[in-house]
Structure 1
Amino acid sequence: MKVKVQKIDGKASGDIELSKDVFGVEPRADILHRVVTWQLENRRATARPTRERSDVARTGKKFGRQKGSGGARHGDRGAPIFIGGGKAHGARKRDFEQSLNKKMRALGLKMALSSKAKDGLVVVDSLALKDAKTKVLKGHFDKAGFTGKVLVIDGESVDEGFKKAAGNLPGVNVLPAMGANVYDILNHDTLVLTKDAVAKLEARFNG
């Protein structure tokens, strides 16, 4: 499938042929949902446990008499009602890590790229800027018609000048090709790929 290539300021810069095996896959909501859920769950930190009655270092010796004190009966300083006692029905340690096989993860990324290829994909020749300033880059984005949240993916590494210029633009995020992932692609309105990024992504799936 052939798409137009443009410069970062929106001017035309030829065409590029995109692999149908990577950018022409029919998206499936269930697979995309599964991959995004896997990503977000694996970002979660392990839930910290609280100390319950059996976890606190308090004496189990009965204090006071059973009868005659005028107070309630107690037999353990580790009871939840005492200072230093264990938490009643406290939170337990929870690990949210999930596993997902490589084929499913790769298929999810292909589907995310394909969904953007239908609507929201822009290919640029490079991210090199003559004047790497935020104001200049914002002007280029306005000319090119980039609206909403924009994800820019470069090749092996992101151009340093572009990264600094884009750092102050709200809603603009930059990644190298190796960092491309389903959640970030779907969570942005516009996906901008450099020609190097296209080559890296296609090579990633073609071995």
Structure 2
Amino acid sequence: MEVLEFISHIIKEPGPYQPILAVIKGFRNGAVYGAKIRAPHALVMTFLFKTGSLRSKIWSILEATIQHSRNLAFFVTIYKTITKLLHFLAGEKEKRHSFVAAFIGGYLVFGENNRINQQINFYLLSRILVGLAKLAVEKGYFHAPKTDPFPYFAAFVWGTVLWLFEHERHTLQDSLRSSMVYLYDDSEKWSSFWNFLWHNK
């Protein structure tokens, strides 16, 4: 009972324990967010595109969810631990601390080349490029475009990905390639009304 009262007290008034509690809460939030993001995505993609028994599909969903959840939890823990340690050693927060901590965490957690890590890293890369472009305009390195550049960006992205799919598809990620096969190759094939409108094959 005393232990529970002590824990309850430091959670309400963390004081010197704040950095440790922040790391623990970061682990919790990483695990929960990873599960929330991956579970519905894995559910939809598995039942839409994967073949096999119901048991194998459920296991695949659980496996992907656990991996995403675990990776985010460990990354947040590593990142917060290192940044707080660097802040303590330097006596104040410095901009480079966040990069150093995330660099180490990214290498340790998201450096393994697997399907889940590829998706997460590619997702972040697109956001980084947009963020860096906005920052370059804000800093005055480039002038803000007079018209919305998004239509040209969309045209370039779709033109490039379809060119790669049609002529160099081996270069595309497996999940993207399978989605595009479903959309563009499978729509060329049918043998009856059943697999023309209702069923793909």
TM-score category (smaller protein): under 0.3
Larger radius of gyration: 1
Larger helix proportion, structure 1 or 2? 2
Name the TM-score, length of structure 2 as normaliser.
Answer: 0.19
Name the TM-score, length of structure 1 as normaliser.
Answer: 0.19
Q: Which has the higher contact order (CA 8 A, sep 6+)?
A: 1
